[in-house]
Structure 1
Amino acid sequence: MKRKVLLSLVAAGLSFSTPSRATLLITEEEAKLPPPKGAVAVDQRGILRGPKVEFVSPGGSASSPLRLVLKFQSYGGARIDPESVKVIFLRSPNVDLTPRVKPFVAPDGINMQDAELPPGEYTVRVDIKDSDGRPGTTVFTLKVAPK
């Protein structure tokens, strides 16, 4: 009987707890930085068997907080090295988002459920390496609609 009462109290406490907070991906100050000058460099030399980074979500414009999903794919029996993942907000100067994204990095990709960003368009580069040291890179644009 005591166990049932305790379990119901715990369940009631969980249902009244505050919702989880979104993870701040880009701050207002960082969003105001000027865009990079010139072209954005992407390392794409020849046909390599290096890993691939695919931008999955959000598609089109989304309001914040948004779900940020990227998938990693490796080739030739190599594995993605999660420690090699670098996420850079391309601005002048660039902003390293890697520490903010690290908790959401897995060998198969990035799955960030509640990424908080101010409204605007943000160009982001993701760099990875596989267990054979081969690099993979993608550049994508996040479009965040006003709330």
Structure 2
Amino acid sequence: MIGKIFIGAVAASCLVSGSLLISGAVQAAPLITEEEAKLPPPKGAIAAERRGILRGPKVEVLSPSNTVSSPMKLQLKFESFGGAKVDPESVKVIFLRTPNVDLTSRVKPFIQADGINMQDAELPPGEYMVRVDIKDSDGRPGTASFTLKVAPK
């Protein structure tokens, strides 16, 4: 009897938390909620690429490459240099708003040493600036800021 109650409680907590492991697949909760989307953007924020010769790891956005509908595929590629490896535990994903929203826990199940591969990221319609910070095994930092554009349904 206690075992059945425990299993039921675990299943209920998984459903309430928004992520449930089914046959090894993770179903994602919304990447950005409606409430977070309504927060004001930071003043003067723009998505920018860093140019120059840097030895720190690089973050490249593979998908989406343009305006998409939700749910969308969020795929980022990490590249390290000089024999160093990207530390998956160092990855931070921030939704740039006032105040900023840390999305790291929402993408954590999809983070690997070579990037992020989230098949069904849910976002409300709009434009969202996101920053990804990473470090390599030598402690060198890398960062990328980009804009996700989500079309109305």
Band the TM-score falls in, shorter-chain normalisation: 0.7 to 0.9
Contact 2:63–2:76, Cα closer than 8 Å, also in 1: yes
Q: Which residue of 1 aligns with 2:43?
A: 37
Q: SS of the counterpart of 2:68?
A: strand
Letter in 2 for 1:112: M
Seen in structure 2, the aligned counterparts of structure 1 residues 65 and 39 have a Cα distance that, compared at 3 Å, is closer
* 2:8 is aligned with 1:24: no
Q: Give the gaps of 5 or more residues in structure 1.
A: 1-19
Number of residues of Structure 1 aligned to a counterpart in Structure 2: 128
CA deviations over 1:79-132 (Å, ceiling 9, x no partner): 000000000000000000000000000000000000000000000000000000
The aligned amino acid for 1:38 is G
Could you tell me how far 1:24 is from its partner in structure 2? 0.8
For 1:48, the equivalent position in structure 2 comes to 54
Say which SS state the counterpart of residue 110 (structure 1) adopts: strand
TM-score by length of 1: 0.81
Q: TM-score, normalised by structure 2?
A: 0.78
Residue identity matched to 1:121:
E
Which protein has the larger Cα radius of gyration, Structure 1 or Structure 2? 1
Question: Aligned residues: percent identity?
Answer: 77
Q: CA RMSD in A?
A: 1.9
Q: Could you tell me which of 73, 90, 100 is aligned with 1:94?
A: 100
